[in-house]
Structure 1
Amino acid sequence: MSLCISSANFDQSSLVQKNTVDSDFRATLNQTLNKVIAQYGEETYRLERAEHIRYECLKKNVPGLLHRLWSNMIYASTTIGSTFSMYKEVVQYYCGERLTLINLPVYGASESFFGCIASIHTDEYFLLPTSVFFEFIKEEDIQKAQPKTLLLSELEPGHRYEVVCTTDSGLVRYRMGDVMNCTRFYSRANNLVPLPEEPIDIPQIPLISLAYRVGNVLGIFGEKITEQHMMNALQQTIRQWREQGLLVDLHDFTSCPKLDVFPAKFVIFVELIED
């Protein structure tokens, strides 16, 4: 990064060289970089900024890199719920104590925006019923070809559902493949967003968090093992290893069923990091 800025040329980046083969696109990157540099003071800025980045990145075991590089940054946002929670601690390290880490503000897809963040302190969303028409399939009925669907008003906290949406452009209805938790109902006591002060009837508003994708469920004998199940088991194993003196943390993992042996089993590839 510092070499790119000091030379005003993205070609100095081995990452760009390896992954960006379009020479016209690389030229556009360089033109944009030069425009930004020109706004901040030309060569003086380039050299000072490059040196600052190099200095901060070389610091070892010092959290808060994002705030040190971009002091005006207010918050960092990424997916932090469900199985993505294993990466939250890593991202939080780069945020440090001065930069707030929040869940993605919007739950959406190419079809529409489906929900907005309910609180910066949780991974919960309000669903937006005016964006698409929502229906929901109970988790135990997901594998059925024609499962019964429920309306937004029929959700119950503590249960999981697959999302079905009907778009307002074409009235196309299909299953999204997203499975969500209905965490609780919003109430005046939650104090997440202001409600009217007048004592009016407010319908129950469910809050949801994303659980997993339907295709991310493993099974050999009919069981349904989600990423969350797998991660919980691995984290418990890591805790046992640490109690036995093996000081490692879980960095990443992937798994697949192995069906060409008897009995069939899961193969788990684990990437560990030492303390």
Structure 2
Amino acid sequence: IPDINSYTVMFTPGFIHTVKLIQTFCEEISLCISSANFQNSSFVQNNIDDAKLKIDLDRALNEIIQKYGGSTYQLERANYIRKECLKTNVPGILHRLWPTLSYASTVIGGTFVIHKQELQFYCGEKLPLINFLGYRASEGYFGILASIHTDEYFLIPTSVFFEFIKEEDVHHSQPKTLLISEIEPGNRYEVVCTTEGGLIRYRMGDMISCTGFLSRADDLVPLPSEPEEIPRIPLISIAYRVGSLLDVYGEKTSEQHVMNAL
């Protein structure tokens, strides 16, 4: 499809993986488009056993080809993808493959910031790279991006009841928890959630940083012009996953320790 609007993968390693898949299999992708089927795709043939699904994929590919111009589009698009993917040292492969993209999005805060240069190379100068728009998981929807210019989120306490465990207490079996009104800027916490779906005090394993509280100086969202009291709304960023530890001799080195050392 030549005219997608956004390229979004929640976590940075997954984002990078998808781009590398395109680069690795670009020749097969081109052959699939030019032949209008997935017989030339080793990725599809080796990973999909369902014959009906393969037929459905072929049908969908043919529908797209017809929608965008038939055989003329088919050959032009196949050659274009092959040509652009071979430019391995040229920035902006995503923008070049899909010039209509408005933005690319993935989590770029916390320890994921180490990947930002590589992500920017894939986007190039013309494609904005912004933090993932929502803080969400299969367990629920927890927050929304405060601004496209930051990696901070507003938590949404109306959809989830939040509790927080201090970073230094996360390895305790029964750690003390804090309410959203008790967390403080400059500290990290593991998120604990109770949801409408039935999770009770579920430890997410996400370590977040409380970066501050919403204020008029932030200019993140429109606030009343009248001098009204602003609720104590914390801003958070995703720091790392609690389980991401190096533990060769019991030293419990977290991603953040490695980042600080670097």
TM-score relative to the length of structure 2:
0.83
Q: Provide the rounded CA distance (Å) in 2 between the counterparts of 1:113 and 1:59.
A: 39
**Cα drift, residue 169 of structure 1:** 3.3
Runs of 4 or more off by more than 3 Å in structure 1? 218-224
Partner of 1:94, secondary structure, is helix
**What whole-Å deviation, never above 9, does each CA across 1:83-105 have from its counterpart, x for those lacking one?**
22222211211110110011111
Q: Output the amino acid matched with 1:164.
A: V
Gaps (5+ residues) in structure 1?
237-275
1:202 counterpart (211, 220, 230): 230
Gaps (5+ residues) in structure 2?
1-28
**Cα drift, residue 219 of structure 1:** 3.9
Task: Please name the residue that 1:193 is paired with.
Answer: 221
**Cα drift, residue 79 of structure 1:** 1.8
Partner of 2:125, secondary structure, is coil
The answer (yes or no) to whether the contact 1:157–1:182 under 8 Å persists in 2 is yes
**Cα drift, residue 228 of structure 1:** 2.9
The answer (yes or no) to whether the contact 1:217–1:224 under 8 Å persists in 2 is yes
Q: Provide the rounded CA distance (Å) in 2 between the counterparts of 1:64 and 1:220.
A: 39
- Call closer, same or farther: CA 1:221–1:60 in 2, change over 3 Å: closer
Q: Output the amino acid matched with 1:203.
A: P
Task: Please name the residue that 1:108 is paired with.
Answer: 136
Task: Please name the residue that 1:138 is paired with.
Answer: 166
Partner of 1:153, secondary structure, is coil
Partner of 1:12, secondary structure, is coil
Q: Provide the rounded CA distance (Å) in 2 between the counterparts of 1:67 and 1:125.
A: 27
Partner of 2:220, secondary structure, is coil
Q: Provide the rounded CA distance (Å) in 2 between the counterparts of 1:61 and 1:220.
A: 37
The answer (yes or no) to whether the contact 1:114–1:132 under 8 Å persists in 2 is yes
Q: Which has the higher contact order (CA 8 A, sep 6+)?
A: 2
1:89 counterpart (112, 117, 132): 117
Q: Size of the alignment, in residue pairs? A: 234
1:38 counterpart (43, 66, 87): 66
Pairing of 1:210-221 with structure 2 (within 5 A): 210-219=238-247
Partner of 2:246, secondary structure, is coil
2:52 counterpart (12, 24, 41): 24
The answer (yes or no) to whether the contact 2:207–2:242 under 8 Å persists in 1 is yes
2:152 counterpart (124, 131, 134): 124
Partner of 1:201, secondary structure, is coil
Q: Output the amino acid matched with 1:145.
A: S
The answer (yes or no) to whether the contact 2:164–2:191 under 8 Å persists in 1 is yes
The answer (yes or no) to whether the contact 2:193–2:199 under 8 Å persists in 1 is no
The answer (yes or no) to whether the contact 1:11–1:17 under 8 Å persists in 2 is yes
Q: Output the amino acid matched with 2:158.
A: T
**Cα drift, residue 111 of structure 1:** 2.1
Task: Please name the residue that 1:74 is paired with.
Answer: 102
Q: Provide the rounded CA distance (Å) in 2 between the counterparts of 1:52 and 1:170.
A: 49
**Cα drift, residue 224 of structure 1:** 3.4
Q: Provide the rounded CA distance (Å) in 2 between the counterparts of 1:106 and 1:3.
A: 36
The answer (yes or no) to whether the contact 1:11–1:26 under 8 Å persists in 2 is no
Structure index of larger Rg: 1
**Cα drift, residue 138 of structure 1:** 0.8
TM-score relative to the length of structure 1:
0.80
Task: Please name the residue that 1:164 is paired with.
Answer: 192
- Call closer, same or farther: CA 1:131–1:225 in 2, change over 3 Å: same
Q: Provide the rounded CA distance (Å) in 2 between the counterparts of 1:168 and 1:161.
A: 22
Q: Which moved more, 1:167-176 or 1:61-70?
A: 167-176
Task: Please name the residue that 2:207 is paired with.
Answer: 179
- Call closer, same or farther: CA 1:220–1:67 in 2, change over 3 Å: closer
Task: Please name the residue that 1:3 is paired with.
Answer: 31
Q: Provide the rounded CA distance (Å) in 1 between the counterparts of 2:88 and 2:207.
A: 40
Q: Provide the rounded CA distance (Å) in 2 between the counterparts of 1:140 and 1:122.
A: 26
- Call closer, same or farther: CA 1:231–1:24 in 2, change over 3 Å: farther
